[in-house]
Structure 1
Amino acid sequence: MDKPVSALRKLPSVDEVMRSAALAEAVTRYGRSAAVTAVRAVLGEAREQGAASADVTEVARSAMARLEAEAQPNLKPVFNLTGTVLHTNLGRALIAESAIEAATVAMRNAVALEFDLGGGRRGERDELVRDLLCELTGAEDATIVNNNAAAVLLVLNTFAKGREAIVSRGELIEIGGAFRMPEIMSRAGAKLHEIGTTNRTHKKDYVAALSDKIGLILKVHTSNYRIEGFTKEVSPRELAALAHEHSVPLVNDLGSGTLVDLTRFGLKHEPTVAEAVAEGADLVTFSGDKLLGGPQTGFIVGRKALIEKLNKNPMKRALRVDKIRLAMVEATLRLYRDPDRLAEKLPTYRLLARPIKEMEEVARRIVPVLQEKLGAGFAVKTTPCTSQVGSGALPVETLPSLAVAVTVSGRGGGRVLTSLSNALRKLPVPVVGRIEKDALLFDLRCLENVDGFLANLSTLNAPEAA
Structure 2
Amino acid sequence: MDPRRRIPRTDALLARPRVAAAAEALGAGVVKGLVRAVQDRARSGEIAPEAVEAELLTALDARRPASLTPVINATGVIVHTNLGRASLSEAARAAVAEASGYTDLEFDLATGKRGRRGTGVRAALLEACPEAEDALVVNNGAAALLLAVTALAGRAADTRFSAQTPRATPPYGSPAPRSHGSPSPRSEPSEVLLSRGEFVEIGAGFRLSDLMESAGARLREVGTTNRTHVDDYARALSPATGCVLKVHTSNFRVEGFTAEADLAELSALAHAHGVPLVVDLGSGLLEPEAVLPGEPDAATALAAGADLVIASGDKLLGGPQAGILLGRAEVVAALGRHPLARALRADKLALAALEATVTAGEAPVTRALRADPELLRERTLALARELAAAVPAAPQQSSIVVPHDGRVGGGGGTGVPLPGWALALPEAVAGPLRTGTPAVVGRMHEGRCLIDLRCVPESQDGELLRALIAALDATGSAGGLR
TM-score normalised by length of structure 2: 0.82
Query: Corresponding residue for 2:432?
Result: 423
Q: Of 286, 298, 301, which aligns to 1:273?
A: 298
Deviation of 1:11 (Å): 4.9
Whole-Å separation in 1 of the counterparts to 2:128 and 2:263: 20
Q: Tell whether the 8 Å contact from 1:382 to 1:404 is kept in structure 2 after alignment.
A: yes
| 2:450 match | 441
Shift of 1:313: 0.9
1:264-303 pair list within 5 angstroms: 266-303=291-328
Alignment partner of 1:172 is 2:199 = yes
> CA–CA distance in 1 between the matches of 2:123 and 2:56?
55
Matched residues in 2 for 1:11 and 1:35: separation?
24
After TM superposition, list the pairs within 5 Å mapping 1:32-71 onto structure 2: 37-38=33-34, 40-42=36-38, 44=40, 51=45, 55-71=48-64
Structure 2 counterpart of 1:261, from 280, 288, 304: 288
For the pair 1:153 / 2:162, whether they are aligned, the reply is no
Cα distance, 1:14–1:73 mapped onto 2, change above 3 Å: farther
Go from structure 1 to structure 2 and tell me whether the alpha carbon gap of 1:61 and 1:285 turns closer, same or farther (over 3 Å shift): same
CA contact (8 A) 1:199 1:227 kept: yes
From the superposition, tell whether residues 452 and 309 of structure 1 become closer, same or farther in structure 2 (CA, over 3 Å): same
State the partner residue of 2:383: 366
C-alpha distance in 2, partners of 1:374/1:384?
A: 23
CA shift, 1:27, in A, is 4.3
Q: Distance in 1 between matches of 2:390 and 2:204?
A: 37
Q: Give yes or no for the alignment of 1:188 onto 2:210.
A: no
**Which amino acid is the alignment partner of residue 424 of structure 1?**
L
The separation in 1 between residues aligned to 2:359 and 2:149, in whole angstroms, is 30
Check whether the contact 1:402–1:443 (CA below 8 A) recurs between aligned residues: yes
Query: Could you tell me which residue of structure 1 aligns to residue 186 of structure 2?
Result: none
For the residue of structure 2 that corresponds to 1:173, the secondary structure is: coil
Match of 1:387 in 2: 406
Matched, 1:213 2:249: no
1:451 maps to which residue?
462
For residue 399 of structure 1, report the CA deviation from its aligned partner: 0.9
Q: Which residue of 2 aligns with 1:28?
A: 20
Question: What is the CA distance between 1:155 and its match in structure 2?
Answer: 0.4
The one of 385, 398, 401 equivalent to 2:417 is: 398
Structure 2, unaligned runs of 5 or more = 155-188
Aligned length: 434
Going from structure 1 to structure 2, the CA distance change for 1:204 and 1:435 (only over 3 Å counts) comes to: same
Superposed counterparts of 1:77-156, under 5 Å = 77-108=70-101, 110-117=102-109, 119-137=111-129, 138-156=131-149
Contact 2:91 2:356 in 1 (8 A): yes
In 1, are the aligned partners of 2:7 and 2:39 still within 8 Å (CA)? Answer: no
The one-letter code of the counterpart of 1:332 is T
Query: CA offset at residue 322 of structure 1?
Result: 2.2
Residue deviations 1:368-399 (CA, integer Å, cap 9, x gap): 33335554378861111101111110111011
Rounded to whole Å, the distance in 2 between the matches of 1:121 and 1:43 is 54
Closer, same or farther in 2 for the Cα pair 1:208/1:452, shift >3 Å? same
Which segment drifts farther, 449-458 or 173-182? Answer: 449-458
Q: Quote the Cα distance in structure 2 between the aligned partners of 1:383 and 1:455.
A: 21
Deviation readout 1:312-365 (Å, 9 max, x if unpaired): 111111111222222222222224xxxxxx5xx322221111112322231232
SS in 1 for 2:358: helix
Which secondary structure does the structure 1 equivalent of 2:407 belong to?
Answer: strand
Give the Cα separation in 2 of the matches to 1:173 and 1:86: 19
The equivalent residue for 1:464 is 476
Question: Residue 384 and residue 201 in structure 1: after superposition, are their counterparts in 2 closer, same or farther (change >3 A)?
Answer: same
Report the Cα distance in structure 2 between the residues aligned to 1:299 and 1:22, rounded to whole angstroms.
47
Give how far 1:150 is off: 0.8
AA at the equivalent of 1:429: P
Compute the displacement of 1:438 (Å).
Answer: 2.4
> Given that residues 287 and 297 in structure 1 are in contact (C-alpha distance below 8 angstroms), is that contact kept between their aligned partners in structure 2?
yes
Secondary structure at the aligned position of 1:384 is classed as strand
Aligned CA distance change for structure 1 residues 44 and 95 (closer, same or farther; 3 Å): closer
Deviation at 1:156, TM superposition (A): 0.7
Change (3 A) 1:10 1:66: farther
Cα 1:59–1:394 shift into 2, 3 Å:
same
Aligned counterparts of 1:436 and 1:34: Cα–Cα separation in 2: 40
1:233: which partner in 2?
Answer: 260
The answer to whether the 8 Å contact 1:17/1:56 transfers is no
The residue matched to 1:198 in structure 2 has which SS? coil
Q: CA deviation at 1:220?
A: 0.5
C-alpha distance in structure 2 between counterparts of 1:214 and 1:454, whole Å: 58
Instruction: State the Cα distance separating 1:135 from its structure 2 match.
Output: 3.3
RMSD (CA atoms)? 2.8
Give the SS at the match of 1:301: strand
- Shift of residue 302, structure 1, vs aligned partner: 1.2
Structure 1 letter corresponding to 2:202: I
What is the one-letter code of the residue matched to 1:454? L
After superposing the two structures, state which structure 1 stretch, 27-36 or 200-209, moved more.
27-36
CA-CA distance at 1:61 after TM superposition: 3.7
Question: Per-residue deviation at 1:218?
Answer: 0.7
Residue 322 of structure 1 is matched in structure 2 by 347
